[in-house]
Amino acid sequence: MNEDQDRLFVTALARGLDVLAAYQAGDRALGNTELAQRCGLPKSTVSRLTYTLCKLGYLSQDESGKYRPAPAVLTLGFAALSGLDLRERAREPMRRLSKETGLSVTLGVRQGTRVVYVETCRALTRVGIRLEVGSTVPLATTAIGRALYMALAPAEQQEVACLLADEYGARWPEVAARLQVAQTTYGETGFCASYGEFEPDIHAVAVPIAGSAPAMAINCSGPAYRLTPARWAEEIAPQVVKLAAQLAV
């Protein structure tokens, strides 16, 4: 990218979206000062941005005058989801698998070095982090992230690896080694696994869905106490592999 291209970048838009993106899971209403700190912008700039976002309906103010995301933000995401044909096709089979196994079944897409869940069927007895449409998990240390990584072309894997190296810093060699192991295993078994690596008490296996655009992967996860890794590989993984094959485009 040369300098001319930076002239096309609309900074005001980026800043406004940074304000929206400053909200994290569990946040309630935030004030302008907190938002200014999170975004690294001057208070007056943030004040103008929140004013604009309120007028547009993407933020609303509570009684104390603080801001929280308004439901209109959800409608942006809805449009994103409703364009995903594969998600619609996958929904019922995923629900079925979740019911049969008693595990959580999720569908995810890569976004940079993260996975964004686009569909979730959660087991009734939930353990672990919130599995929810729109929530994200790391790419490198989760089964679903690894599956998405495997589906990348080598050049893209290289690119992503660079981003990950930046992110993990000194810990990257270790993470990379495990990613390499996963690649070998994927080549032999057709699935990726994460046994307690991301969350100590959670096992998961995942498989990319061939031919999907944007590339997606399907994941099955549950509590570690239920099944040993060997049983996961024998009993659960084949079902996920089969489901991914059914969903292949």
Query: Which positions touch DNA (CB under 7 A)?
Result: 4-5, 7-13, 15, 31-34, 41-45, 47-51, 64-66
By beta-carbon proximity to DNA, the closer residue of 8 and 124 is 8
Which of the choices a copy of itself, DNA, none does residue 185 contact, using the CB cut-off of 5 to 8 A by kind? none
Rounded CA separation 14/11 (Å): 5
By beta-carbon proximity to a copy of itself, the closer residue of 91 and 231 is 91
Rounded CA separation 120/75 (Å): 18
Q: How far is the CB of 58 from DNA (least distance, A)?
A: 15
By beta-carbon proximity to a copy of itself, the closer residue of 118 and 240 is 118
Interacting residues with a copy of itself between 111 and 170 (CB under 8 A): 111-112, 116-118, 130, 132-136
Which of the choices a copy of itself, DNA, none does residue 34 contact, using the CB cut-off of 5 to 8 A by kind? DNA
Choice from 27, 100, 201, 235 touching a copy of itself (CB under 8 A):
27
By beta-carbon proximity to a copy of itself, the closer residue of 82 and 246 is 82
Q: How far is the CB of 214 from DNA (least distance, A)?
A: 18
Closest CA to 192 of 89, 85, 115, 79: 115
Annotate 50-102 with DSSP letters as a single string.
HHHHHHHTSEEE-TTS-EEE-THHHHHHHHHHHT-HHHHHHHHHHHHHHHHHS
Which of the choices a copy of itself, DNA, none does residue 80 contact, using the CB cut-off of 5 to 8 A by kind? a copy of itself
Q: Which positions ≥6 away from 35 have C-beta within 8 Å?
A: 19, 22, 41, 46, 50, 67
Quick one: residue 184, left, alpha or beta (phi over 0 = left, psi -120 to 50 = alpha)?
Answer: alpha
Choice from 3, 4, 40, 55 touching a copy of itself (CB under 8 A):
55
CB atoms within 10 A of CB 85: 11
Closest CA to 120 of 89, 85, 138, 95: 95
Does 72 bind a copy of itself (CB under 8 A)? Our answer is: yes
Chain centroid offset of residue 239 CA? 22
Closest CA to 131 of 202, 29, 231: 202
By beta-carbon proximity to a copy of itself, the closer residue of 149 and 232 is 149
Q: Which parts of this chain interact with a copy of itself (CB under 8 A)? A: 5, 8-10, 12-17, 20-21, 23-29, 47-49, 51-53, 55-58, 60, 62-63, 68-83, 109-112, 116-118, 130, 132-136, 213-214
